[in-house]
Amino acid sequence: MEAILALEDGTIFHGRSFGAEGEKSGEVVFNTSLTGYQEILTDPSYKGQIVTMTYPLIGNYGINEEDIESIGPNAEAFIVRENSRVASNYRSTGKLDAYLAKYGIVGIEGIDTRMLTRRLRQKGSLKGVISTIDIDEKSLVKKAKDCPGVEGVDLVKVVTCKEPYVWNESSYAKLTDEQCQMANLGATAKHKCKYHVVAYDYGIKFFILRHLAAAGCKVTVVPADFPADKVLAMEPDGIFLSNGPADPAAVTYAIKNIKKLIGKKPIFGICLGHQLLGLALGGKTYKLKFGHHGGNQPVMDLKTKKVAITAQNHGFAVDIDSIPKGIVELTHINLNDKTVEGMRHTKLPIFSVQYHPEAGPGPHDASYLFAEFTKLMGAGR
């Protein structure tokens, strides 16, 4: 079946449909990872976005029940050069095409993803529509222009959990039996819990929770709007601010809660959590031209001068110069565009990074940061 991708600037791509039939709109971004398409699709940070994979062949190792970052896909739609008809891997339990169809995700293949990526790099991320039911190009371009995109939009409220829960294999996220079986998260229960962490769920990834558990933490996950006083009443050793989708400035309730938590407990933020922390400290954020999406972003630790290759997924960044002088110090920068990748409070046990040290997918160069968080919690006892 024919599928059409229309961008807000009037560009049209004709391709073939795979996955679900229908029509989806969102901000079109590109991801440079070579593998990990299942983790990418299920990352809640992609809510509101249509993901383009720059690697030409996607789906060749199929779908399994382990490589998921949430209970189902969050990306609005999926763009690939070629969807593999053959799925070959010892863990594979199905094909990408059927997986997308099951969850209502519209896919398009057979377009020039190199051309699309170049256009996004030149013009910046563009709003777009993928449709298998509307073949009127002018109509689709208008729909692309009219779709809300992600700037100024709070999508955290869509992906956050509904009530608090303790992360473990038997009751995690209060899922159904089928969803718990799908998660198959490994033996986190065998790790002895030394610290209690309250994690704000702005769209938290399973790999983050796995890393916190592996570092010896009992993790209580709370909704994005959970009151700060109730968090402190749990008497945690530390507070974690998770990744998530869209515009941090739109998540005003989270910023207010973080302000109340600063100075009370050690805090570690990742991605959106890093941006929200910057806003809570009095700074500003801004939208990047086409964002950082992929597993090959070079980040330098300014203290050690070591460079880590990192996994990233974000469209906004912190303007560290907007934070009142003397509150934070810059700890990490992106070597591609010199944007802020990490900061640390000058007096309090608070730090954050823009990238994803848990990877999933991607390199594990920065996984040591979870141990750094436990050191802060240990020192705070």
C-alpha dihedral sign at 181, 182, 183, 188: positive
Average pLDDT over residues 94-112: 98
pLDDT in tens, 263-299: 999 999 999 999 999 999 999 999 999 999 999 999 9
Domain count of the fold of the chain: 2
Report the mean per-residue pLDDT for the chain.
93
Average pLDDT over residues 317-328: 98
Q: What per-residue confidence (pLDDT) applies to 184?
A: 38
- Both 32 and 175 in one domain: the answer is no
% the chain with pLDDT above 70 = 94
pLDDT in tens, 8-65: 999 999 999 999 999 999 999 999 999 999 999 999 999 999 999 999 999 999 999 8
- Both 76 and 206 in one domain: the answer is no
| pLDDT of residue 357 exceeding 50 | yes
- Both 127 and 190 in one domain: the answer is no
- Both 82 and 209 in one domain: the answer is no
Residue 306 lies in a domain: yes
CATH number at residue 78: 3.50.30.20
**Residue at a domain's end among 113, 146, 179:** 146
- Both 135 and 201 in one domain: the answer is no
Residue 151 lies in a domain: no
pLDDT in tens, 163-198: 999 998 543 444 444 433 333 333 344 446 899 999
CATH number at residue 232: 3.40.50.880
Cα-based distances in Å from 96 to 61, 160, 249, 283: 9, 25, 35, 41
**Residue at a domain's end among 126, 146, 166:** 146
Residue 364 banded pLDDT, cuts 50, 70, 90: confident
- Both 51 and 12 in one domain: the answer is yes
Residue 88 lies in a domain: yes
- Both 134 and 269 in one domain: the answer is no
- Both 283 and 216 in one domain: the answer is yes
- Both 175 and 113 in one domain: the answer is no
Residues annotated catalytic, as ranges? 271, 356, 358
- Both 184 and 93 in one domain: the answer is no
Q: What is the pTM of this model?
A: 0.93
Average pLDDT over residues 116-144: 97
pLDDT in tens, 66-87: 899 998 999 999 999 999 999 9
AA identity, residue 209: L
- Both 313 and 349 in one domain: the answer is yes
Q: Which structural domain, as residue segments, surrounds residue 23? A: 2-146
Q: What per-residue confidence (pLDDT) applies to 169?
A: 53
Residue 304 lies in a domain: yes
Half-sphere exposure of 317 (CA within 13 A, CB side): 21
**Residue at a domain's end among 120, 146, 172:** 146
Residue 241 lies in a domain: yes
- Both 56 and 75 in one domain: the answer is yes
